[in-house]
Amino acid sequence: MSKFDPYDHLDLVRNRDGSITRQVVLPKIPATGDADQHAPSDPSVVSKDVVLDAGKKTWLRVFCPTKLPSNDNSPVRLPIVIYFHGGGWILFSAANAMYHEHCNLLSSEIPCIVVSVEYRLAPESRLPAQYDDAMDAILWVKKQALDPKGEKWVKDYGDFSRCYLYGASNGANIVFNAALRALERDLEPLRFAGLIMNQPMFGGKDRTKSELQLATDEFLPLPVLDMMWELALPAGTDRDHRFCNPMADGPYREKIKSLGRCLVIGFDGDPMIDRQQNFVKMLVFQGVFVQARFDVVGFHGVDLGGGDAPPPPPSPANGGDFLLQLLRKPPQAPAQQPPIPSAATGGSPPTPLPPLRQTLSHDPAVAAVGLSLPFPRFSSTSPDLPYPPPWPNSPPFAPHNFFLRPPNPNPNWFPSQLPGFNHTHHLQYNHQFLGDDIQKLGFFGTSPRPSSVYQQELSLIFGSLPCVIQINEGVPNDNSYDNSASGTIAEGLMSKEREIGYRVSDGIAMAKLVKMQNPDTGGRARLRREGDWGCFELDDSGEQVMGSLVLEDELRDKNDKGQQNSSRDKDCRSDTRGQYILGHRMRNFKRQFECRSDIERLNAPFLSIYESLIPTEEEKAKQKQLLTLLEKLVTKEWPEAQLYLYGSCANSFGVSKSDIDVCFAIENADLNKSDVLLKLADILQSDNLQNVQALTRARVPIVKLMDPVTGISCDICINNLLAVENTKLLRDYAQIDVRLQQLAFIVKHWAKSRGVNETYQGTLSSYAYVLMCIHFLQHCKPVILPCLQGMERTYAVTVDNVECAYFDQVEKLRDFGCRNRESIAQLVWAFFNYWAYCHDYTNDVISVRTGRIISKRSKDWTRRIRNDRHLICIEDPFETSHDLGRVVDKYSIKVLREEFKRAAEIMQYDSDPCVTLFEPYIPS
């Protein structure tokens, strides 16, 4: 068992001075107002960076839509959203691409002014530094309303009476604590219309059930969460400090009841889901107006790309409506039209849109997520709540009308009963929040007010997770929150450990794999771990590597368990690799990394390796010498026969000291291959060739031999002319750009060193790796290789009823990839990065024939057929029904994926990847 290092998990290095070195480099996007040469990623939004505090190195990125909504062709003022990004206090920046695009979309779809805050990170700046930065940002926004020379986009277009604090993960924690601080300040004319807390990050010393059950979460395992709090909290404090645990007692608790309306979002796959639900209950008991949405489908960070599939584009018809009816109210045209953003102010002139409609169409996103229910303020000692309630009007939070909903009349109702609800849908939560007027969605009928009042027991619909909250007499203590509802903890720490099978000590869970059915997750299988104290072994416990294909493989293996295992299965099972492949979330996280900054220094070593692998001229001459000898012997017996070299020795991808493959071509319909091979073996043996064997029962019958003069081994098959055509196609591709040869040689050398190039062991052939390289270079931006089969046909033959046709005048394409200036080191990095983090093994087929990725469904490769498993799919260019990855089984797919991950990590982090990458794998 290996000890789990949370710093390793996030690629962090802790320094002696208490700071950390962040080795993760995520792509950043500049603001459009900062550099005119950078075109905006969304032409409907412009952005600029503004210094907040030069001494603290904090700044703001302001986003403004270029097309403003209007009433009667007069632009209206837009709500202001102050956004705090996530990152567990220690990672990321407002300039990172994922947060920049998130704010772009937010500004465009609502539309609104977004002020994204670049706050200080821990541990260099511990809490409450981040709350201080948040207050600086809030006061900066207030200042723009009062300063005649204030930031024009905010001053001229922002509605200071509709300001929202919005944060994700630890950013949501900042929202909560900054809002409490804001209650003590005079912010006029700035008024908060609401707080939006997306998957808020909270903690505590005592473990919750969700933390224990998700202790080995692939993205946020328990030790990583604990490490983040250790680095962020003030020195000498623990996780029950109020910055971490909102349930902690303290004078600030009295302020909570003065908060305005809140929206809290969470997902069942988040280790902090129990804390988020308890947080909602605490707010409700304090009398805060809360809208809560919790759903069983999702996990921490799902809003920033949790699945392999990209998020669907937002619907222009209703994306803005659903996104924030929470933000919208009937706009008031200003008495005097403000100036519009121009080139002088860093943006393009806006175009007024038609007047805002006051009706809200049915939004399918609501049906997909499940409805949420607003909670009114109420007195905990009053059993009934009259309608309408007397909402207090306490600045700086503005009053709003909310649609009240009586208790759920149908206790068996779930959102899955709504039309179009897909319970397995992976939510893309980039910009979708709760609508302000749920009744307009058409789910609660047309009555403008509820038919009954709230009773003492309230039903709160947490998306797919129903929860009942009991209203106790008086204000409950902390234990009341922890023990009150489903999804919370009703037993002590030791009983929790006995129930779930964990031993817990300050966040370190130990374990060996033991399967457990978890009733709280609809019967989904989880893994718990037990073992030596002080260790935490982490692997991809929750992911089905290839979905139904692997499950089908396992079921078939169980049905066949009485049969003798094949030698290949034994070999694969003795291979201890394949236990630590990444899951969807971590792959999505890793795929955003930028290439290492010193990649160019690796060019010379990689080129040196490539040159060492090229066969010498002397070796090529010996191959021709052997082919001439074989032709002489064969034509003596079969004058009409011809011999062709095929495979690596002839397609330009053969490395030095390789065997050669020969195709014996003869036109004879009555030919018996076995008889010919046996006779050929006799002829070759009589001419003093050594180690001659006729393998007539092999899948492809061959004669094997070794020439003592040249020292070259040779395999001869009969009439495998399709392989000859494949050889020509690859040879033609190799002539277009030398980088294909360089990449393929390095990949093949890596595969041989790591023992993943043997089809009889369930891995891939050299031919398959070359096709993977060709397809990869067909997808580079700009592209390096064309799709020859998609161009004008200048060569066409038919072999065994298979048409082999493509453009073969490749001398005309020598400069095809010249616009792409990437070096071989960059291409090796990108190749392994793609196969480790980007390729969709569940759904995709790589196709050199089309130059595209095509779906398994279109090939009917979604299920196992006999021994063809289709776990990694590589289409043969000519014999398109042939999947070169069909030999990969449920064991070797894990080995391949782990090896791709190992290679990607070496290419990103290793000081000498040209050595480490090719270290031979030695089975334990």
What is the helix (H) or strand (E) element at residue 435, kind and residue range?
A: none
- Token pair belonging to 806: 């493509």
Does 429 have pLDDT greater than 50? no
Looking at residue 96, the DSSP 8-state letter turns out to be B
- Token pair belonging to 647: 């495979």
Look at 550 and 222; give whichever has higher pLDDT. Answer: 222
Confidence class of residue 254 from pLDDT cuts 50, 70 and 90? confident
Looking at residue 416, the DSSP 8-state letter turns out to be G
> What counts of helices (H) and strands (E) characterise the chain?
26, 29
Does 244 have pLDDT greater than 80? yes
> Contact, 677 vs 718, CB < 8 A?
yes
- Token pair belonging to 394: 């306490």
pLDDT tens for residues 891-906? 999 999 999 999 999 9
CA distance 844 to 874: 9
Please tell me the total number of residues recorded for the chain in this structure: 924
pLDDT of residue 770: 97
Q: Architecture of domain 23-34+43-301 in CATH?
A: 3-Layer(aba) Sandwich (3.40)
Write the CA distances from 772 to 273, 492, 503, 613, 815, integer angstroms: 41, 54, 45, 19, 22
pLDDT tens for residues 779-810? 999 999 999 999 999 999 999 899 999 999 99
> Contact, 510 vs 531, CB < 8 A?
yes
CATH 3.30.460.10 fits 617-723, yes or no: yes
Does 604 have pLDDT greater than 90? yes
For every residue of 743-754, DSSP letters joined together read: HHHHHHHHHHHT
Highest mean pLDDT among 336-340, 388-392, 524-528, 617-621: 617-621
63 has which bridge partners? 47, 114
521, burial (CB in 10 Å: exposed 0-12, middle 13-18, buried 19+): middle
Sequence ranges of the domains in the chain: 23-34+43-301, 617-723, 736-917
Per-residue buried b or exposed e for 687-701, using 16+ beta carbons within 10 Å of the residue's own CB: eebeebebebeeeeb
Per-residue buried b or exposed e for 292-325, using 16+ beta carbons within 10 Å of the residue's own CB: bbbbbbbbbbbbbbbbbeebeebeeebbbbbbbb
pLDDT of residue 219: 81
Domains 23-34+43-301 and 736-917 share a fold: no
Fold observed for domain 736-917 = Poly(a)-polymerase, middle domain (1.10.1410)
pLDDT tens for residues 532-559? 222 333 333 334 334 444 545 555 555 5
pLDDT tens for residues 130-172? 999 999 999 999 999 999 999 999 999 999 999 999 999 999 9
Confidence class of residue 73 from pLDDT cuts 50, 70 and 90? low
462 has which bridge partners? 465
CA distance 880 to 878: 5
3-state secondary structure of 642: strand
12 has which bridge partners? 22
CA distance 120 to 58: 7
Confidence class of residue 297 from pLDDT cuts 50, 70 and 90? confident
570, burial (CB in 10 Å: exposed 0-12, middle 13-18, buried 19+): exposed
- Token pair belonging to 602: 């690796």
- Token pair belonging to 230: 């250790």
Q: Among candidates 108, 229, 112, 220, which has minimal Cα distance to 166? A: 112
CA distance 470 to 281: 10
pLDDT of residue 864: 86
CA distance 84 to 94: 8
Cis-peptide, bond into residue 123, ω within 30° of zero: yes
